[in-house]
Amino acid sequence: MERTEDFTCPRCGNSDPDGIGIGPTGKPYCRICLQYDGREAPAFTPSGQRIQLSLTYPLSPAQRTVSNQVLAAVTKGQPVLIKAVTGAGKTELVYAAMEHFLSRGLAVGFATPRKDVVIELEPRIHEAFPMATITSVYGEHTQVLSADIIVLTTHQLYRYPNYFDLLILDEIDAFPYAGNQVLKHFFRRSVKGVYILLSATPSQTDLEELEKDKGAVITLDIRYHGQPLPVPQIRLYGPFGKLDIIACLRDFLSAGKPCFVFAPTISRVRRLADLLRLFCPGGASVDSQDPDRERKIADFKAGKLSYLVCTAVLERGVTVRDLQVIVADADHPIYDAAALIQIAGRAGRKSGYEDGEVIFFCHREEPWVKEAVSTIEETNHHAAMQSVPKKI
């Protein structure tokens, strides 16, 4: 029998003996990447169309500058991390680089950790590149694996070893990609050419790893519409805790504004939704275990629901007009500053409705709550100081 200590998984690079089992024949096998078994994509063949970018709306001046910087870097083969505030229009920043690769018949991928984001992103990218074939790949949706542009979740990257000439990875700090060594390994394995990372709140390790690859960090501090980010208000609970949330939510609803209420855990989401239903009709609860989740989100966007009580599943990628945000228990330890900044970034994204309200309810002011608020204030300050974004 071989020793499990000496075994390294050839597929995911795992060498932790805890994640290695002994198979029926006495040979060691990796238990970490077992769930990633499936069809691998066939070799890339470009569709041969002449692919051109056709945006129906103009880029803001700040976006255009950053977009050109990104294009210049990736054509040199240098990886890029774009650090842009929430609602800056991160996706549009990479279109120029995508066009550059697509027009040369090279493989382009757009990966993100969240399934909901993939579903929302696919039509948007198709709109920008109407001539290109595009496919989305995520759990239970893996029929078509190859196209000019592949939009996929990070969990599906194992199907594309050494495949992408340009791979864009959105929301690098999001669960489940953040801190998952297996997914990180699959990401590195699937990049053949150059990669672009997008994030609003990159962690220190992300920056260090980029440093090793001699990558460039490009920042964009202004939102698409040029207005500052809404600064969250911290409110301490009064003696009757939940009443404050109800009062606050009723204010928003009577003004006719849709609202997200974030709660830390699934059970708390369901309890809070039950309570709020008594006082504010027309809402629903959304969490990752909910089979109706996609329908409820669609209903909310269509205006059929007036508010959603949700876990952090909706913390990214969702854009709703004139949205207000309430975070119940922002002092819960599952949140960190990055998550709170993302949540605060839901508000005021659409032009014409730039001033959303964000309210953090806490029992006490924990350091990460204060850090989130001060980071947003700092970013706004930066944006005000420099009208044109500067390369660090």
Partner 1 sequence: MRLCRACLKRYEAGTIFHFFDMECPLCNTCLRQIDHRVHFRVADGIRCLCLGYYEGKMKDYLIRYKESLDYELRTIFLYPYATLLSLIFAGCLAVWAPSSPARIKERGFDHMEGIASNLNLERCAALTKPDGTEQKEMGRQGRLAISDRITLNPGVDIAGRRILLLDDVVSTGATLAGCHRALLSAGARSIFTICLMDNDEEHSKKHF
Nearer to partner 1, 25 or 254 (CB): 25
34, 236, 255, 334: residue in contact with partner 1 (rule CB under 8 A): 34
334 touches partner 1 by CB under 8 A: no
Cα dihedral 354/169/316/348 (nearest 10): 0
Stretch that binds partner 1, among 19-27, 39-47, 151-159, 171-179 (CB under 8 A): 19-27
- To partner 1, the closest distance from the beta carbon of 387 in angstroms equals 50
Is 48 near partner 1 (CB under 8 A)?
no
Question: Residues 18, 58, 240, 364: which binds partner 1 (CB under 8 A)?
Answer: 18
Q: Following DSSP, what letter does each residue of 342-374 receive, concatenated?
A: HHHTTTT-STT-----EEEEESS--HHHHHHHH
Number of H helices, E strands in the chain: 11, 15
Question: 137-149 burial string, b = 16+ CB within 10 Å, else e?
Answer: bbeeebeebbbbb
Site size with partner 1, rule: CB under 8 A: 13
140 forms part of the interface with partner 1 (CB under 8 A): no
Three-point CA angle 161, 166, 169, nearest 5°: 85
- Residue 352 touching partner 1 (CB under 8 A): no
Site for partner 1 contains 21 (CB under 8 A): yes
Beta strands in the chain (DSSP E): 20-22, 28-30, 80-84, 108-112, 134-137, 149-153, 164-169, 191-199, 216-220, 233-236, 259-262, 283-286, 307-310, 324-327, 358-362
Q: Tell me: does residue 10 bind partner 1 (CB under 8 A).
A: no
Question: Which position among 2, 6, 8, 35 is part of the footprint of partner 1 (CB under 8 A)?
Answer: 35
Binding to partner 1 by residue 89, rule CB under 8 A?
no
DSSP-assigned letters across all residues of 203-245 = -HHHHHHHHHTT-EEEEE-S-TTSPPPPPPEEEE--TTTHHHH
Taking residue 37's Cβ as centre, other Cβ atoms within 10 Å add up to 9
Which lies closer to partner 1 via its Cβ, residue 18 or residue 208? 18
Q: Which residue has the tokens 């090793």?
A: 212
- Identify the bridge partners of residue 152 per DSSP, sorted by sequence position: 111, 137
Is residue 19 part of the contact set for partner 1 (CB under 8 A)?
A: yes
Q: In angstroms, what is the minimal distance from the CB of 297 to partner 1?
A: 22
Q: Is 12 in the site for partner 1 (CB under 8 A)?
A: no
Nearer to partner 1, 21 or 46 (CB): 21
Rounded CA-CA distance 158/303 in Å is 38
* Shortest CB 83 distance to partner 1, Å: 33
Indicate the residue among 26 and 352 with the shorter CB distance to partner 1.
Answer: 26
Q: Footprint of partner 1 on residues 247-306 (CB under 8 A)? A: none
Q: Which is nearer to partner 1, 32 or 343 (CB)?
A: 32
Q: How far is it, in rounded angstroms, from Cα 116 to Cα 139?
A: 11
175 binds partner 1 per the rule CB under 8 A = no
Instruction: Verify cis geometry, omega within 30 degrees of 0, for the bond prior to 176.
Output: yes
Q: Does 29 bind partner 1 (CB under 8 A)?
A: yes
Stretch near partner 1 under the rule CB under 8 A, chosen from 21-29, 62-70, 211-219, 341-349? 21-29
Closest CB to partner 1 among residues 185, 349: 185
User: Which residues neighbour 168 within 8 Å (Cβ) at sequence distance 6 or greater?
Assistant: 94, 98, 108, 109, 110, 111, 195, 196, 197, 198
The reply on whether position 332 binds partner 1 by CB under 8 A is no
**Cβ closer to partner 1: 34 or 243?**
34
Burial 55-78 (b: 16+ CB within 10 A, else e): eeeebbebbebbbebbbebbeeee
Distance CA 210, CA 386 (A): 25
- Of 24-32, 167-175, 313-321, 352-360, the segment contacting partner 1 by CB under 8 A is 24-32
Nearer to partner 1, 19 or 109 (CB): 19
Among 32, 62, 97, 229, binds partner 1 (CB under 8 A): 32
Q: Which residue from 25, 56, 162, 254 is in contact with partner 1, where contact means CB under 8 A?
A: 25
- Positions touching partner 1 (CB under 8 A) are 18-19, 21-25, 29, 31-32, 34-35, 37
